[in-house]
Structure 1
Amino acid sequence: MAKQKKSKFWDIVARLILRNKIGILLGIITITILLSTQWKYMRFTYTEANLLPDDHEVNIEYNNFLKIFGEEGNLIVLGVKDSTLFTVEKLNAWNSLSDSFRASKEVESVVSIKDLQKLVKNTEAQKFDLEPFIKDSVKTSKDIAILQNELFNQYPFYDNFLFNTETKTVRTAIYLKKELVNTAARKDFVIETLMKKVKVFEDTYNLDVRVSGMPYIRTLNAQNIVDEIGMFVLAALAITSLIFFLFFRSFRATFISLIVVCIGVMWTLGILGLLKYEITVLTALIPPLIIVIGIPNCIFLINKYQHEVKLHGNKVKSLQRVITKVGNATLMTNVTTASGFATFIITESKLLKEFGVVASLSILAIFILCLLIIPIIYTFLPYPKDRHLEHLNKRWIGGFVDWTVRMVKEKRIAIYSTTLGLIIVCIIGIYKIKVSGSLIEDMPKKAEFFSDIRFFEEEFNGIMPMEVMIDTKRKKGVMKSTTLKRMNELEDLIIETPELSRPISVVSLVKYSKQAYYNGNPKYYQLPTKQEEAFILPYAKNSTSGETNLLNNFVDSTGQYARITTFMKDIGTDKMERIEENLLNKINNVFPEERYNVSITGKALVFQKGTKYLVNNLALSLSLAIFLISLFMAYMFRSFRMIIVSLIPNLLPLVVTAGLMGYIGVPIKPSTILVFSIAFGISVDDTIHFLAKYRQELQANNWKIKKSVYAALRETGVSMFYTSIVLFFGFSVFTISSFGGTVALGALVSVTLLFAMLSNLLLLPSLLLSLERSIANKQILKKPTINIIPIDSDDEDVLEESEEKK
């Protein structure tokens, strides 16, 4: 009766699976086909990852800015630093290249040297007329000399925008249409038009053209993500199947496992499409993750099947025991792994929430697929050959397990000393960890567009936009002299900040207006005095470029809001916080709160704030993972002491990894934040297997603790080693990525899981032996809520006889 109760549920599951083979296979095929129809809804992200909740004040400020001034990240820049550009042929060709982009439907406007306009005073109309620097084309070297003198010596308004007066670097600005900049049209323009034309120009005139700007960077970055999905999947399949084959020496078993994980990947992509989620740098990791996590499931199930066949030779009985005895344990370990990923759902970050949802659903899906497909396929196949079962007797694996047993028996003090030493050293390392909120830090360092980013940082102090928006709280308040002077004071601070580029705003236009009023004399590039305002400001207000008033680039249509645009270098969170603090102090001193609302925003700042937000939520996410798994342990073992003992060997690898990050200089950032919850959710699987087997051995060995610990260690050591090796090399696949964050994620999770294996094989049994009297309470461990590893029939008979004697 006891046997029936313990295995009733899984006996029913086994019967259902083995008696409905055809129906289940048809069902899996049907679901796979249905999910594959959702692939068409998968979308690749066309914007940076927004790490903040939609209702966060930083997002609200940014969206308010976009509502008033439109998309600020729509600028692509082309740059050339080459003295030979200033020849008649090459300069005209450069201007023609810039002109050619105007015809593209995705382009709103193009500003190049040829488009630069001089403000020329029109006294009669009381406005400035615009006169081009180059009317048609340059015809002689004398024309070029005149142009260079004007550009580099007489018009500071354009300095650091289209040229650098010190290095003579020249660039062209291409503004994409704001409504298209975050759509697939941007990719078409960048890949099919921009890059091809630039390549032809470079080859023809032997000039090195640098290209950058947020739309360009996003496009190539997204393309790298897409390219790497296939690379990761193939690499994960290759390395995990190779390791699997080396363990089992069976093409049949390897092929079955590949079928299972490939279907799992198809389901994952279907879930992404079904939920209409974008493929980001994080969700792109899920398909290979499913392969890496799915293969250990296959190892457990196939290993158990082959062990049973070797034991008694009955195929049906073997498959039934695979489901009843391994199914429950595999379910529990997959649930804990899914829980580690699911904790990201509570972060309120859309990016991490989507990652958590898809990853946790996919992990549960791969478990179901493994449990259904593997036993069913083996019902149609002949018995394994003797050579397929040889791995069950591998001496080198036995040698590794014997070493762990010997260490636990004889070197427990050394294990504790090493653990304590590691903790102390790693805590010191943790204090060295830095936080990084860089938009470009994880981008491929070897990519050409990354070196172009550094080029523009050096020549023009960055390409990542930062905006200051001034609300004067009244219409036409921007052009008041007091507002312009306050803005000028703030701009002086921005100019003094080496990490920021020279700002451009309505202040720059008003200064240029005064210069133009005094016939272009550069010494008058300054704000008008009180007396000059009356006759200079009307000129600025009336100046137009074609159909567009020049003020519209810097002031909204009501004249209430103004913007100051600057660009920032790729800097760390600490520097950015210092710069923001300095700017806010200046703003508070210069702009009275009762008269102005001033906010600092822009994509770079939003990303910085998002990183800090995630770091603050890291503790919450990890704490939830620990809490959920602790509840799970409590539900299984009904022992608070066992919870503590089980958590110690799994928290230790996290401390080691955090310390390692501090020592080798890997910062906390959106990609590396994932490491801790993922690794904890996976590493605790070994603990569950070991403790479940330990409890079983205690019952079988009449509560003899030492004998039970060593028996559990020998029994689970092999499977822990197999799965840990697969996981280690599986996650190592991510180190081939060109994205720094993905490389760090793969390397850190791999190292963490390796430490977790050693911790569970050495520290956990050592703790059980050292604390044996306080932990091994019969009443606590006798009847668990969940029987993780059902007892074999022979062992169960022995236990029942023992119970009857008592």
Structure 2
Amino acid sequence: MNALKKAGNATNRFAKNWASFVIRYKWPVFIGTILLAFGLASQGKMEFDGDYHVFFSESNPELEAFDALQEKYTKDDNVILVLSPSNGDVFTRENLIAIEELTAEAWNTPYSSRVDAITNFQHTRADGDDLYVDDLSYETSLKTEAEIKEIRVTALKEPLLVNRIINEAGSVTAVNITVRLPGLDSAAEIPEVTKFTRDMIAAFKEKNPQFEVHSSGLVPLNTAFFESSQRDLMLTMVMLLIVIVTTLILTRSFFSTISTLVVVLFSIISAVGFVGIMGIKLTPPSAVFPTMVLTLAVADSIHILITMLQKMRKDGLGKKEALVESMRLNFMPVLITSLTTVIGFLTMNFGEVPPFWDLGNITAFGMTMAFLYSTTTLPALMAIFPVKVRQRDVEKEQKIGWYTKLGYFVSRQPARLTLISFTIIAVLAYMATRNVFNDEFINYFDETVDFRTDTDYISNNLTGIYNIEYSIGSGESGGINNPEYLQKLNEFEDWLNEQPEVVHVNAFSEVARRVNRSMHGDETAYYRVPDNRQEAAQFLLLYELSLPFGLDLNNQINVDKSETRVTVTIENISSAEMIAFSKRGEQWLKDNAPEAMQSLGVSPTLMFSKLGFRQAESMFKGNVFAIVLITLVLILALRSLRLGLLSIIPNVTPVLVGFGIWALYKGQINTGMVIVFGMTLGIIVDDTVHFMSKFLRARRELGYDARQAVVYAFETVGKALVTTTVVLLAGFAVLSTSSFALNSYMARITVIIITAALIIDFILLPSLLILISKKSEAVDEVKELQPQIQLNK
């Protein structure tokens, strides 16, 4: 006990000496922190990276498999333009002319390597022993009505077109632009492609107002990521205004508001400097760091300011004395809450998503600087400013406040409140297990984003955006002409088409069937894969020689003709269903094809589907580490093993409650929400530490019993906890308006968790503190507390 007391006295002496030092040298301290903040800010450089690849670490196995597939064939970054004529018929002369012109213009897209449309589809026909391969519709202005009708019939019977480039009704069509981005500077390359396509669409619509145009694809996806980052960065200004208003209302002090504003601005610009020093490129998840830092940095200042103002208003202390006493009371709790918040954010590095590593590291640095500024800049400014408050009169002071009443309420019935609390928590913890992962990247954006609405339209009216790809090997050079290989590939294509999720299958076996038919006088009986290897090889060579530049088979066949690419377009399905479908395809190949043909399904869609599961698995270790480390910190800080272990309950249960309520609200968890446990664990410890520190101060310094100490804690820290919670809720509520679901969903559940944390710290925590205290120390009647509640606040 003596050791604990000495440690406590040492902490108090340090805090008082530190506060006295800052107040005495207020101007040098203030100028020094200005130089530090702006020195860091001078290194700041905020660049954005919208490439979806940033969501995957270099060691991600799905990314490695997808990159390997693209090396064998061609990269398939694309922009798909979907055209819907007002008359509901693509196959009119006017509409086909417009599509033909747009297709020609699309070839001018920066980095374009291929353009696919109905007009330039390579249609095969035979004339004796000759094979002719031509655009399905060229020089459309010269076509007769009969020829246009024939084009319609041909297009709507072509498996490679229907549900991919044209819908079954012939009312909607697409122009698909494949681009090969150099990858040297995605921040410049993607906007370059986006600007060109947007200008092209605008010009096309001006000339052809009868068309409605929607765009999607991987390039628009990257653009949506890029633009979401910039939009979310602007939320900081909204949050800054909210912080100013909230702090002014709750502290009722203009100078306190100014001081808080300086602290959060210094913290943010320091974090910006860290971004530049570390060379971090911002992404939608990491771009919200200013809002995060701003929201969290306010909490440190609020606790110091409210205690100071209370001492001046209620106890009649002078400004300097009140500031020193506030620093003495809050230095250690602020240090501990800052440390635990930093630990919580650093656990993001355990995850699988690099943008969240950046968010965690930037915010952790920002919070470290926020602690520094709140214990230097803040008291220095408050010492400089002419802060004056009006003391409360005796009659008002004698009235029992709301927080005191709440303290009485809890202290009267700790056992009952504990039982009720644990019952509710248990029910919601069970509900939390009912949440399921779903990482559909289309749903990363809400319906205010054009990419989302355009993609939904395309999925409902033409083709799916999700796909899975298999690279089917033959085991030998030139083996794709082996009739056995072709037959098995044909069977796999047929099996895929039978699956209910499948919208379209693009496989080399379809090309082989079509060319075989054309080389046999277009007789329907020959619409099958060739049964002679030499014949198949000759047909393929003749077909490839007939294809124009840019429309070859390099996107389907590898260089030595030992493998072909099967692309399966599927409906918009959940992550779990996507993974299950991919495994079904892999299993079919294992059960029905030779070993050389067995392949893993890969695609960006599948990578995103698996990302949430990988993130959850990796973050589990990080969360366990955070719980253990934070608990150890609290044991040392509170100087009590029992209370340190007890703190696990109010620190962990809000997360269980939050995910339980989320199960009732939404029931789906995405990658962004997986980080919430570690992130909020560091945040909600704030309430626990401040409440328990005031409880212990009442016990150790004032000699109160457990129930008196609970009432004391409510009176001294209740308002500060409510104030910081309101600010946190405001910050995350602003962030919840983000159009990017990984951010908005994370913010929404954080709002729930922070609210639950305050309730638990006001109901369950004090009840537990009373129950675990020695019975001999408790008073029998709560009314005995009343004469003592005004002592030594």
1:298 equivalent among 277, 297, 301: 301
Q: CA deviation at 1:65?
A: 1.7
Structure-2 change in CA distance of 1:549 and 1:559 (3 Å)? farther
Matched, 1:611 2:627: no
Larger mean CA deviation between 541-550 and 268-277 belongs to: 541-550
Listed one character per residue, the Cα deviations across residues 354-394 of structure 1 (whole Å, up to 9, x for unaligned) are 222112111111221222221222232223243xx779999
Q: Write the distance in 2 (CA, Å) between the matches of 1:587 and 1:182.
A: 39
2: CA distance between counterparts of 1:618 and 1:726?
A: 27
Q: Determine the C-alpha separation between the residues in 2 that align with 1:171 and 1:181.
A: 29
Shift of 1:588: 0.3
Aligned to 1:782: none
What amino acid is the match of 2:257?
A: T
Paired with 1:63 and 1:393, the residues of 2 have a C-alpha distance of 75
Q: Quote the residue 2:503 is aligned against.
A: 501
Q: Which one of 167, 179, 196 corresponds to residue 193 of structure 1? A: 196
**What is the CA–CA distance in structure 1 between the aligned matches of 2:776 and 2:764, rounded to whole Å?**
15
Number of residue pairs aligned between Structure 1 and Structure 2: 772
Alpha-carbon contact 2:81-2:176 (below 8 Å) kept? yes
Q: Residue 513 of structure 1: CA displacement?
A: 0.9
Cα separation, partners in 2 of 1:693 and 1:40, compared to 1, 3 Å: closer
Confirm or deny that 1:716 pairs with 2:717: yes
Instruction: Indicate if the aligned counterparts of 1:435 and 1:668 stay in contact, CA closer than 8 A.
Output: yes
**Cα distance 1:602–1:354, how it changes in 2: closer, same or farther (>3 A)?**
same
Q: CA deviation at 1:542?
A: 4.4
| 2:469 match: secondary structure | strand
The residue number in structure 2 matching 1:149 is: 153
Structure 2 equivalent of residue 275 of structure 1: 278
AA paired with 1:345? N
| Counterpart position of 1:788 | none
Whether the aligned pair in 2 keeps the contact of 1:401 and 1:713 (CA below 8 Å) is yes
1:561 alignment partner AA: E
Equivalent residues in 2 for 1:165-204, closer than 5 Å: 165-179=168-182, 183-204=186-207
1:356-435 mapped onto 2 (5 Å cutoff):
356-386=360-390, 399-435=401-437
CA distance in 1 between counterparts of 2:210 and 2:540 reads 47
- State the shift of 1:255 in Å: 2.5
The alpha-carbon deviation at position 91 of structure 1 amounts to 2.5
Change (3 A) 1:267 1:105: same
3-state SS in 2 of match to 1:503: strand
> Residues 568-583 of structure 1 correspond to what in structure 2 (within 5 A)?
568-583=570-585
Change (3 A) 1:25 1:149: same
Give the deviation of 1:308 after TM superposition: 4.2
How many angstroms apart in 2 are the aligned matches of 1:248 and 1:709? 24
Give how far 1:342 is off: 1.2
Q: What are the equivalent positions in structure 2 for 1:232-311 lying under 5 Å apart?
A: 232-310=235-313, 311=315
Compared with structure 1, are the counterparts of its residues 539 and 5 closer, same or farther at alpha carbon in structure 2 (3 Å cutoff)? closer
Instruction: Output one character per residue of 1:652-675: Cα deviation in whole Å (capped at 9) or x when no partner.
Output: 222211211222223121122122
CA contact (8 A) 1:705 1:776 kept: yes
Distance (Å, rounded) in 2 between the aligned partners of 1:377 and 1:767: 39
Task: Return the TM-score normalized by structure 2.
Answer: 0.90
Match in the other structure for 1:30: 35
Q: 1:64 aligns with which of 65, 68, 91?
A: 68
Q: Secondary structure at the match of 2:659?
A: helix
Residues 505-545 of structure 1: CA deviation (Å, up to 9, x unaligned): 32222122112213445664321234884575354564342
Unaligned runs of 5+ in 2: 779-790
Distance 2:529 2:536 in 1: 12
**Aligned residue runs from structure 1 range 791-806, under 5 A:** none
1:684 corresponds in structure 2 to 685
Q: Which residue of 1 aligns with 2:784?
A: none
Distance 1:312 1:433 in 2: 53
CA distance in 1, matches of 2:345, 2:635: 20
Residue of structure 2 equivalent to 1:54: 58
3-state DSSP class of the match of 2:134?
strand
TM-aligned CA deviation for residue 396 of structure 1:
13
Q: CA deviation at 1:22?
A: 4.3
Within the candidate set 131, 135, 138, 1:132 is matched to 135
Partners in 1 of 2:169 and 2:11 — Cα distance? 82
Q: Contact 2:162–2:168 (CA<8 Å) still a contact in 1?
A: yes
Match of 1:804 in 2: none
Distance verdict in 2 for CA 1:769–1:316, change over 3 Å: closer
Q: Over residues 95-147 of structure 1, what are the superposed CA-to-partner deviations in whole Å (9 max), with x where a residue is unaligned? A: 212222222333223222221222244777x7x44222223233444442232
Q: How does 1:95-114 map to 2 (within 5 A)?
A: 95-114=100-119
Offset of residue 627 of structure 1? 0.9
What is aligned with 2:455?
Answer: 453
Q: Secondary structure at the match of 1:104?
A: coil
Q: Is the 8 A contact 1:460 1:501 kept in 2?
A: no
- 1:196 alignment partner AA: D
State the SS of the aligned residue for 2:470.
strand
Cα-Cα RMSD: 3.1
The offset of 1:287, in angstroms, is 0.8
Structure 1 distance, partners of 2:248, 2:544, is 77
| 8 Å contact kept, 1:513–1:536 | no
Uncovered stretches (5+) of structure 1, i.e. residues with no partner? 778-793, 797-806
Which deviations, in whole Å up to 9, do the C-alpha atoms of 1:677-729 show, x marking residues without a partner? 22221111111112222222112343633322322232222221221222122
**Aligned residue identity for 1:355:** L
Q: Measure, in 1, the Cα distance between the counterparts of 2:49 and 2:544.
A: 44
Partner of 1:537: 539
The Cα offsets for residues 428-456 of structure 1, whole Å up to 9 and x where unpaired, read as 41232111121122212233321221222
Q: Does 1:488 align with 2:490?
A: yes
* TM-score, normalising length: structure 1: 0.88
Structure-2 change in CA distance of 1:290 and 1:538 (3 Å): closer
Looking at structure 2, the residues matched to 397 and 683 of structure 1 have their Cα atoms a distance apart, in angstroms, of: 31
Q: Would you say 1:589 and 2:591 are equivalent positions?
A: yes
1:75 CA drift (Å): 4.2
Summarize deviations over 1:47-98 as a string: whole Å, max 9, x none: 25534x4324333322322332243333433332542543333321232122
Structure 1 stretch 342-351 or stretch 196-205: which is displaced more?
196-205
> 1: distance between equivalents of 2:298 and 2:25?
25
Change (3 A) 1:249 1:19: closer
Sort the Cα spacing of 1:613 and 1:345 in 2 relative to 1 into closer, same or farther, 3 A. Answer: same
Partner letter of residue 434 of structure 1? Answer: V
CA contact 2:418–2:768 (8 Å) conserved in 1:
no
State the match for 1:354 in structure 2. Answer: 358
What one-letter code is carried by the residue in structure 2 that aligns with 1:742?
N
Letter of the 2:105 partner, please give it: S
In 1: Cα distance, 2:477 partner to 2:533 partner: 23
- Which whole-Å CA distance do the structure 1 matches of 2:155 and 2:124 have between them? 14
Matching of residue 345 in structure 1 with residue 349 in structure 2 = yes
Q: Is the contact between residue 465 and residue 571 of structure 2 (CA under 8 Å) also seen in structure 1? A: yes
Q: Match of 2:645? A: 644
In 1, Cα distance between the equivalents of 2:433 and 2:114?
Answer: 49
